[in-house]
Structure formats: C-alpha cells, structure tokens
Structure 1
Amino acid sequence: MHCFVAYCLASETSNHPLANQTFRSEETHKLKKMITSRLQQINKPAVKTIQSPDGDIIDCVVSHKQPAFDHPLLKGQKPLDPQERPRGHNQTDLLSDNFQLWSLSGESCPEGSVPIRRTKEEDILRASSINTFGRKLNQVGMDTTKYKHVHSTGYVTGDLYYGAKATINLWSPHVEGEKEFSLSQIWLTTGRNSNTIEAGWQVSHQIYGDYLPRSFVYWTADAYKETGCYNLRCSGFVQTSKTFTLGGALSPSSTYNGRQLGINLLIYKVIFLNIRGGI
C-alpha cells in the first residue's frame, strides 16, 4: 500500500472502527483526486508516444504546450529559436543521442515537438507529499541531518562569467535503498546559492523509481525556498531539443579498468540586444 505520511497518521486518530474506515476512504479518494490533478498538470497531450526499453513512456509534446508554458510570464507564447552557441562549441560537442535508451530503436519526435518522460502515479507516491514532488529534500523543510552528503568538488569563483563547460564521466554506481542517491553535475550559482542552474546525471530511486543513471537539470531562483524542480516537473525550464529527454536513462556507462564514457555539458548566458534607431 502506498500513502503519504500525513494521511496515514491522520487515519489513526480515531478509535472507532467504522469512523476509521470512513475517514480512510474519504482521504484516499481526496488523495487520488489530488494526484490525478497533479499528473494532468505535468503530463501534456502527446502527438506521439514512444515506449522505451527501460520501461519509460516518452510523450512527444508540442513545444509551446510543455509544462514551462503554464507559467504566467510564458502563457500564450512560443519557444524562441535556440540561440547560436559560443564560438568553438558546435553541435558535436553535445551529448550524443545514442546515450539515451528510448532513442536506440531509431524513434524520434516529430518536428515542432519535444520528448518528455511521462510522470506516473508511483513517481508522485514516492515523494513525501504532492506539494514537494519534484523538489530537493533540503528545499522542502525535511530533516536533512538524516541524509548525509559525501562529495568532492572543483570550483572557481569570480565576478563575471558568461557560462561554463564540463566533461563528466558517466557511471552506473550501486546505491542502497530508496533514499540513497549518487550524482555528478555542473553547478552554476550566484552568491549564497540564491540562483542556481544544475545539470548532469544521477542515480536516484526516489526520483525515478529505478537504479539507472539518468540525465537531469535543476534550478532555483530563491535559494531553494519556493522555486525550482527537477527537469520538467514544474514550469520554468523550457526544452527545445526534440532528440533528448530530461530524466531519460543513459547507456552505456563507464566500466572500471575498461572503456570510459563521458558527457559534455555546456551552460551559457544569452544576451539579447534591443537596438532602436531614430532621427
């Protein structure tokens, strides 16, 4: 049986068997409606559906109907054409499409659509609540002292940067249980982490329901307080690629004392110039 902690505890407050049963039935129905509503927000109508060999369902969604355009500032607009990459960073620098299992069969999304990994009911049930679904543990007020991070970092600091690039070795590490996870990422942040952009790969059963290395992005605009989420699980991040899926499984991976495989990640700032002429 799957249930959120808040609902399970509440159902045990009465000692009357019939009252307990009625309460549980009402709360279960309420929870089901909330989950259905959340899934409808995230999963947009697809023009094509692709079944991935790893069990994922990939929905090809019209670009301007993806979750990002639920945001009030984007509602009714259409995605801008991808900007030209900085000199020296062409298409061959990016992650090969063949790293994702769903595209190995040669399937792809039609022009004008983007591939989005479908969110399932069990994905939401693994979260601590519906409201915290898709967000980080330290972002939602949980006791992070129970979840120790062991990590190594390399970093640079300064006043003015226009982007960053990293080549990250791709592994499929063993993690234990549903709470433990492993990741490798590039992380850009302003002072005190008030705004961050993160991208890389991660193995996380709690997020994806399996132990496969998967691509991810994450962002926040207020130091992880109220904004931000993984991939396309909330409005904010606009996807433009029709060949790459956020949250998609990556394969093959590196082997110890064997073949080494990596992914290249490039994050850069685009500056829009508004030039006006006159007499």
Structure 2
Amino acid sequence: MVGVKLVFGFLVLLCLFTEARLCYAAGRNRFSGSRKEVEVLKHLNRVNKRPVKSIKSPDGDIIDCVRISHQPAFDHPFLKNHTIKLMPNWITNDDIKVPSSSSENNEAITQLWHSNGKCPTGTIPVRRTKKEDVLRASSVKTYGKKSFSASVKPNSIDPDMFNQNGHQHAIAYAQGQFYGAKATMNVWKPKIDQSNEFSLSQIWILGGSFASDLNSIEAGWQVSPDLYGDNNTRLFIYWTSDAYEATGCYNLLCSGFIQINNEIAIGGSISPISQFHGSQYDITILIWKDPEEGNWWMQFGNGKVLGYWPATLFSHLTRSASMIEWGGEVINTASDGRHTTTQMGSGQFPEQGFSKASYFKNIQIVDESNNLRAPKDLETFSEQPNCYDVQTRSNRNWGTHFYYGGPGRNPKCP
C-alpha cells in the first residue's frame, strides 16, 4: 500500500512539473510574441506619419497624404535642419522638361489609387505600412532593405559566389564619369515562383567599391510579394551608401529620399500593364545630379519631378557616378534544387522583339557638360543567358535600346 502511495505521489509531482514547464514555455512564447509585436508597433509609429487625408486604393493600399515637412526623410540625422528644395536646376537639354513617357498607344500610365482621390497641395502620397507587411520580413530591422548586394560590377563577378547570392541580371551598362541617366521601359507583370523572390526592371546609378562602400541610386518597377503582400507591378526606388549593409531602403520606408510631388505614390501600383502581343505601356525615368547643390533628382512620366536624394547621404556620388546600369533583376532561391520559374520582364527572351519581349529604349546618360546623350561603349551582362538574356540595338526612332528578359527555368536552364 505504501509503495502504491509513493508511485501515485511521484506521478502527481511529475505531472505538476511537466505542467509548470509547459506553462513557462507558453508564457515565454507569449512574452516573445508580445515583445516582437511591440517592436513592430514602434516601427509602424515611426514610419507612418500622421496624414492630412487618407485614400483607400482599389488594390487594398492605404495612401496617406502627409505634409511635405513631416515625411520620413527628415528622421535622418543629416536632414534635421534641411531646407526642402522645391525645384531642381534643370540640365541643359530642353527635351528634359517635357519628356515623352506615354505608352506605345499614347495612353498615359497612372496609379490605381488615383481613381479614389488625390492628395492636396503641400502634401505627398505615402503608401501606409501595415503590420502584416513588417511581419513578412525576417526581422523589423531588415524590413524594406535588401539583404545583400544586388548589383555587382559586371566585369568582376565571381559567378559561383554570385549565384549563391541568388540575384540574377540581364543588363546593359556603361562605365565612365556620369551625372545622371534616362530611359523608357515597358511595364509588365512577371510571374513570381516563390513569395520571397522578386522581379524588377530599373536604372542603377553607381559609384564606389562594389565590395564595401558602394553608393547606389535605383528606380524602376518591381513585383515583390514579400515587400508588398501581393503580385502587383509597382513603382519603386532604392538607395544605399555602404553596399546595402546598413544604409538605405526601398521607397520611403526609411529616411533619405525627399519627395515633393503630390501625385505619385512611390511603392504604388502601376496601371495599365503591357500585354503579350498586345498594347504596350511604358514609363520614362530620369535621374540627374544638380550641378549646383549636388542633389540627385528623379523625374517620372510627363514632367513629374518626384523629389531628390540629398548629396549628404552619399560619399562617392557627391562627385559623380562611375557606372550606369539598365535592365532586369530577379531572385533565384532554387528552393527545390532547380532554377526558379520567376520571370524577368515579360518572361520572353529578347529575340521575341516588340510586343512580346521587355525593352529599354532611348537610353541616355548625363555628361560632364550637363547634356543628355547616348552612352558610348555600351556593354551587356547576364549570369545565365539561357535563363535571362539581353540584346542591344540602335535605330532612329528608339535610339540606343535593348530587349531583355526570360522565363527562368526552361529546357536550357534546368
């Protein structure tokens, strides 16, 4: 009888001990979850500024109309006492003031939120960051940032190391001394294989060492489920001054870029989209350095000056850029041991040509005399041409241009 009581008592103690451990683990998990939630909420309070007005977009975005002086840029320690520039110093060419950025059928590109309202003068449209946006990132610290260098100097790539990074390109590039770049690119909705992959088309303005202190200004369109929570094609920008290590971010998700335009939401969905063997829609992007103050300005579409990256953000780009790149980029996670099926551009190879393949046309650089001109010695680069490729061309109507892109995995790209 005594033995039975001892066994029973031991079992009771064991149950109590096990329950205590489970309660401790559950409590620790609740605390951990709570701590992360507090961190997320603090981040949202920092990045989402109080709006004058909010607009619900058909795609589910909330566009906040934030006073220009209250935008995220001014959280940067270098910009605390910055005086906002409302008009850039134009470059010499007259055609810069009213650039052609309409689509092939002359219908202008717009953004989906425009159908439900507009932001008043004195404000800028800012895509509201939601809790679920931040939670998709690996951490609050990495939200809105590239996890590693996505641009690598084409003639110094170690293909084995590069493919480990997973970023793949099909680009045209020029090396020299530049003060800006311009191009018109058609807009597509490439299919994304995995949610942590993306596909984009953009202009890169580069200076410095690709290994450590790269300065980069980037702008174009992208599809990125992880960043935005959907597969919409969106206008984006990016910057870094230390090779993507700590500085910079996408869009207005950190301090840096100063927006002055109240019509275009950076990070907002673009509409309409080019159709295979159908109507083609394109956007024109110009980025150039103000010769007097050194700020890097961005223009989008028909004369819409969006804003600028202040010169104080950079080291090498305070003088000039040493390389310009135009083209496409994807992430290839090779999650099942095979190449991704994420498409670049339209998902077609460049030899397919107009209305099927993606293009960049009227490619220009800004030279030391503050003029727009075609780049000399344009070169091309692709890590795996059987997956994504690029082909340059030139004619009177489109000037220097190229087709690029591809489907990713295919019989020649296993």
TM-score tier by shorter-chain length is 0.7 to 0.9
Q: Which deviations, in whole Å up to 9, do the C-alpha atoms of 1:195-251 show, x marking residues without a partner?
A: 000000000000000000001000001111110100011111111111001100001
Other-structure match for 1:108: 118
Q: Residue type of the partner of 2:179?
A: Y
Other-structure match for 1:85: 90
**Does the CA-based 8 Å contact 1:138-1:144 persist in structure 2?**
no
Q: Residue type of the partner of 1:52?
A: S
Aligned partner of residue 58 in structure 1, secondary structure: strand
Q: Which deviations, in whole Å up to 9, do the C-alpha atoms of 1:34-78 show, x marking residues without a partner?
A: 101000110000001011011000000000110000112212444
1:240-279 to structure 2, matched below 5 A, reads: 240-272=260-292
1:5-16 to structure 2, matched below 5 A, reads: 16=21
Paired residue for 2:232, among 212, 219, 233?
212
Q: Residue type of the partner of 2:87?
A: P
Aligned partner of residue 26 in structure 1, secondary structure: helix
In structure 2, C-alpha distance between the alignment counterparts of 1:217 and 1:273, rounded to whole Å:
21
Other-structure match for 1:118: 128
Q: Which deviations, in whole Å up to 9, do the C-alpha atoms of 1:146-179 show, x marking residues without a partner?
A: 6623321001100x21110011110011112211
In structure 1, C-alpha distance between the alignment counterparts of 2:33 and 2:168, rounded to whole Å:
38
In structure 2, C-alpha distance between the alignment counterparts of 1:226 and 1:40, rounded to whole Å:
21
Paired residue for 2:169, among 139, 151, 155?
151
**Does the CA-based 8 Å contact 1:58-1:116 persist in structure 2?**
yes
Q: 1:267 offset after TM fit, Å? A: 0.3
Q: 1:90 offset after TM fit, Å? A: 1.6
Aligned partner of residue 157 in structure 1, secondary structure: strand
**Does the CA-based 8 Å contact 2:101-2:184 persist in structure 1?**
no
Other-structure match for 1:202: 222
Paired residue for 1:65, among 61, 66, 70?
70
**Does the CA-based 8 Å contact 2:109-2:283 persist in structure 1?**
no
Q: 1:273 offset after TM fit, Å? A: 6.2
Residues 1:26 and 2:37 aligned together: no
Q: 1:18 to 1:145 in 2, by over 3 A?
A: farther
Aligned partner of residue 36 in structure 2, secondary structure: helix
Q: Residue type of the partner of 1:175?
A: I
Identity within the alignment, %: 43
In structure 2, C-alpha distance between the alignment counterparts of 1:114 and 1:98, rounded to whole Å:
19
Given the two structures, how large is their TM-score scaled by the length of structure 2? 0.59
Residues 1:179 and 2:196 aligned together: yes
**Does the CA-based 8 Å contact 1:97-1:244 persist in structure 2?**
no
**Does the CA-based 8 Å contact 2:195-2:226 persist in structure 1?**
yes
Number of equivalences: 256
Unpaired stretches in structure 2, ≥5 consecutive residues:
1-19, 151-160, 295-414
Aligned partner of residue 16 in structure 1, secondary structure: helix
In structure 1, C-alpha distance between the alignment counterparts of 2:186 and 2:149, rounded to whole Å:
27
Question: More strand by proportion, 1 or 2?
Answer: 2
Paired residue for 2:252, among 202, 226, 232?
232
Q: Residue type of the partner of 2:278?
A: G
Aligned partner of residue 184 in structure 1, secondary structure: strand
Q: Residue type of the partner of 2:217?
A: I
Q: 1:26 to 1:273 in 2, by over 3 A?
A: closer
In structure 2, C-alpha distance between the alignment counterparts of 1:127 and 1:147, rounded to whole Å:
18
In structure 1, C-alpha distance between the alignment counterparts of 2:67 and 2:223, rounded to whole Å:
28
**Does the CA-based 8 Å contact 1:64-1:78 persist in structure 2?**
no
In structure 2, C-alpha distance between the alignment counterparts of 1:273 and 1:203, rounded to whole Å:
34
Given the two structures, how large is their TM-score scaled by the length of structure 1? 0.86
Residues 1:189 and 2:206 aligned together: yes
**Does the CA-based 8 Å contact 2:89-2:291 persist in structure 1?**
no
In structure 2, C-alpha distance between the alignment counterparts of 1:109 and 1:126, rounded to whole Å:
29
Aligned partner of residue 233 in structure 1, secondary structure: coil
In structure 2, C-alpha distance between the alignment counterparts of 1:76 and 1:192, rounded to whole Å:
30
Q: Residue type of the partner of 1:100?
A: Q
Q: 1:42 to 1:91 in 2, by over 3 A?
A: farther
